[in-house]
Structures are given as structure tokens and as C-alpha cells.
Amino acid sequence: MHSWCVVLLTLFFITTCSSQTDQNYWKSLAEKELEEALQVRFNLRTAKNVILFVGDGMGPNTITAARIYRGGESHRLAFEKFPHVGLLKTYSANKMVPDSACSATALFSGIKANLGTLGVDATVPQYDCEASLNKEAWLDSLAAFALKAGKSSGLVTTMRVTHATPAPLYAHSASRSWECEANMPANAKQCKDIARQLVEDWPGRDLHVVLGGGRQVLVSNSTGTPEDPISAWSCYRQDGRDLIDEYRRDKEDRNLKYQIVSNTRELLNIENDIDYLFGIFANEHLQYEFERNKSPEGQPSISDMTKAAIQVLSKNPKGYFLMVEGGKIDMAHHRGRAKTAVDETVAMERAVQLAVDMTSDEDTLIIVTSDHTHTLSINGYPDRGASIFGIAAESPFDHKNYTTLSYGTGGPGSFQYDIKTIDNKTRAERREPSKEDTESYHYVQIAAIPLDENSHGGGDVAVYAKGPHSHLFHSVHEQHYVFQAIAYAAKIGPYSNGYTTKVNILLLTTAVLIKLF
């Protein structure tokens, strides 16, 4: 075993060194990319199906780190092989740096909203229940427009199904925190909580697939287990309602074929004839991939959920819209745990590859993007081939090492300084990271500014696309442009009757004139 390790390390060293110094290596690398670029053709078909992956908090540096973690600097993630790429500006209607609720609203509904609000336009301030009751401020999502077009719609998330990213698909709320009635103030009692909107109102009740966490938001006075405890962090329903049971009764009253599942075994053995699938696998968010119970009685992976969702949705001959969120990327970043965030990115990448394998470029538009960045930095100057989670170099100022990854902001655990008093002078000394296990999923990278937790970043995010009209993602776009491009590609919502802008009228007029003369 030891000799094989030596051989592999030797081969890796030879390959790395030759790729650093061999001109032919670099030429062939670029020529291969050129050949791929020359093969790209615009697919002008209508997108029968649309799958939108949202890596929550998956900024460009997260993707770079995931690429290196997965296969080295020259590696490409599954979605990095998509032929069309753009950038999205993520600012919200009132903030330079957004949260997931307003940015998901922009992605799914085509309108930028205020921080903390979802499914409503910018006339609704955060926490203003009365303003959110104005139905003129309500926004229809891509899921809603797909249903109106006779398509199926669904969502997959590793978060609570009522959380900030999935909720704008079906709910209209002045606060992302109003997931259940227990979190709503007295002056907001006339507004309906997000969980009830999912189960009781259209389009939530008609979503064909809902998979994720959040049992304690849906079922009053839920009980937990040591592996899946009740969380004080999120809303805890206490009004006596069992919304999962209400979902069941609604489907039975309408004679709809449905199935409710609660673990991996049940999900992987869903019945072939169902049209509606509702799966809640945790009291709160699902566990991180590295700590997930992978037994049949445990929680499914994001790939497991994506596969089941496509199986159910693809039965509709008119097609479907599916949103898949890798939400735990964001959660790990908020905790300052870069390796966990990167590992969650790789888990979502596997789901992307699975979706690619299960569908066809002929009729399915697949998009991978993010709602916002985080403050993750990749620092200079580690050697090529070094671990992305390792030590970059030694600082010439305090003569202590620093890690390749760090954050601009972070929680208390990321303030890695010891306060010392020497010769009556108090100073902060940075801790030596080489004395800690920086490869641990639990390691918290150092941050420049201590906060209660790592904040979001305001940088642009990448958008990757393949399939019908994927070429519409080609430049620096506003984030809410994603809605427009998808609606146009699938001919739903504002484009259900064709595209009638001035550009089309001009092209049509030109074609007529050419034919006449």
C-alpha cells in the first residue's frame, strides 16, 4: 500500500511539474478549449423543460475552491463545461448586498425586491404586513407561470422548504422569517405564514414536487430525535395545525395521485403513477453532506432528491420547471467553515451532472447560478497542487502562517487572535494555523471583521447554461434577467404568446421588405 502511494505521488509530482514547464501542455490545453468553442451552436428550440440550480452563497471564489478541491487548478466542474456563461449583478431594490429572499424573488419573478421580503415588489417594506396584502404587489414566479402553461412545477432544497430561496416560488411575504405563525408579531396576524401559503394557496398547493426540510414549521409541536433535534434557530409551529396532513387531505379531496415520504428509502421507492411528491426529511434544514446519515432510514442527498423530482415531473408531456437549491453552501459560509461550504458545492455539482445525464439538450434548459456571494477570499501564493484548505505561506510581518482561504467577515469563531499583555502593552496576536487541523470540515477560517456570523458579499455571481436558448446568458446581466430569459426560452408567462418587442417587429419588417424588393 505504501509503495503505491509513493508511485502515485511521484506521478502526480511529475505531471504537475511538466504541466508547469512544458509549452506543449499549455498549448494543447488552450487548443482544446478553442475546439470546444468552435463547436458551439445556438439551440433555438423552445425549452420544454427548465431546471434552475441555485447554489446559495456560491460566489466565484467558492466555485474556484470547489474546482481545485475536486480535481486541481485545471479541472472543470460539470457546469463549467456548459457552453454559455454570464455574470449577474446581485444588488437588491434597497441594498447593495442582498439576502436570499430578495435575490430569489429577482431570479424567479423578474423583479428586484427589498431585503428580507419575498414574492412581492419593492412597494412592500420589510415587516410591513399591511403593504404585503396588496395583491398588486404580488409577483408570479416561474413555477406559477409553468403551471399556468400546463407544465409541472417543483422544488428541491437542502434547506427548509419554507426558507428564503424556495419560498418566493409560491409565497408573498413582507418577511422571510414569517415561516410559521409563531414568528409573526401581533400586528401581522392578518397575514398568512409562509408554510400555510405552501399548503393552502395557489401555486404552492399545486406544486408537483416539494422536497426538503422543515417539519417543525409545518407540524405543530413537532418532536425531535438526537440525530434530528428541534431547532431553536428556526420557527417552531404551535397553533395545532398539521400542514403535512392538510396536504394529504387536499390531494385526496381532489382525487390526485400523491405520495408523502420522510426518508431516503421511501424516496428511492416512490410509486410510478404519482403526480405529486411531498418529502420532508428533517425538522429543520437537512444535514451537511459529510455528516448525513446515508442509511435507507436517513436523509437523502441533493442528488437523490433531484433524481426523484425529475422522475415525477418528466411524466408531463408538456414539460416542467424545477428549482434545485444547494442551500447548505450558504449555511457553511455563514459559520465560516470553508471546507464544508466547498464540499456542499461539490454535492450540488453531482446533482447537476445527474440532471444532465437524465435529460436532453434538445428540449431541456439547465441553468446553474447563485443568489449572492460570500466574503470568501483565496490568498496568495500557495504552490500549484497544494490543498486549497492548507497553508498558503508565512507572513513577513508577524512570521506566522496564513491559510489559502479566509473571510472578510465572520462569526466569533473566526476571530483567531489571542489578546496578550507584554511589558504593560496589550496587543492581539494572530494564532498559528499550522497548529490546527485546517483540513477539518469544522475548521473555521480567520476573518478580518468579527460579526455574529459571516455576512453575504455583494459581488457578481456566475450563471452557466446549456440547452435551448442558453445563449441568452452571454454577458453581464441584471439578476432579474434570469426570469426573462427562462420565460422566453420556455415560452411561458410574458412570452406565452410569442416575443413582440420592438426588436422582433424591426426584424419582421426587414424580412418583409427584403422579400418585396
Tens digits of per-residue pLDDT, 32-57? 999 999 999 999 999 999 999 999 99
Contact 368, 97 (CB under 8 A): no
For residue 2, name the pLDDT band (cuts at 50, 70, 90).
Answer: low
For residue 378, name the pLDDT band (cuts at 50, 70, 90).
Answer: very high
Average pLDDT over residues 148-166: 98
Which helix (H) or strand (E) covers residue 100, if one does? helix 100-109
Average pLDDT over residues 64-78: 97
Q: What is the pLDDT of residue 162?
A: 98
For residue 374, the SS3 value is strand
Of 3, 92, 100, 377, the active-site residue reads: 100
Does the pLDDT value for residue 147 go beyond 90? yes
Q: Is 100 a residue of the active site?
A: yes
Is 456 within any annotated ligand binding site? Answer: yes
Does the pLDDT value for residue 379 go beyond 80? yes
For residue 442, name the pLDDT band (cuts at 50, 70, 90).
Answer: very high
Q: Of all residues in the chain, what percent carry a pLDDT higher than 70?
A: 93
Q: What is the pLDDT of residue 3?
A: 54
Q: What is the pLDDT of residue 92?
A: 98
Is 371 within any annotated ligand binding site? Answer: yes
Domains identified in the chain and CATH numbers? 49-375+455-495 (3.40.720.10), 378-450 (no CATH)
For residue 303, name the pLDDT band (cuts at 50, 70, 90).
Answer: very high
Instruction: Tell me the pLDDT of the chain averaged across its residues.
Output: 93
Q: What is the pLDDT of residue 6?
A: 47
Is 227 within any annotated ligand binding site? Answer: no
Is 165 within any annotated ligand binding site? Answer: yes
Is 56 within any annotated ligand binding site? Answer: yes
Is 364 within any annotated ligand binding site? Answer: no
Is 245 within any annotated ligand binding site? Answer: no
Distances 254 to 248, 251, 270 between C-alpha atoms, Å:
10, 5, 20
Is 330 within any annotated ligand binding site? Answer: yes
| Structure-block grid coordinates of residue 21 | 514547464
Distances 172 to 118, 179, 201, 280, 348 between C-alpha atoms, Å:
6, 11, 10, 22, 27
Contacts of 104 (CB under 8 A, 6+ apart): 54, 118, 164, 165, 166, 167, 168, 169, 371
Region of poorest pLDDT, from 137-146, 163-172, 230-239, 303-312: 230-239
Q: What is the pLDDT of residue 498?
A: 76
Phi/psi at 2 (5° precision): -65, -40
Region of poorest pLDDT, from 375-384, 469-478, 490-499: 490-499
Tens digits of per-residue pLDDT, 170-208? 999 999 999 999 999 999 999 999 999 999 999 999 999
Provide the b/e sequence for 384-408 (b: ≥16 CB within 10 Å).
Answer: eeeebbbbbeeeeeeeebbbbbbbe
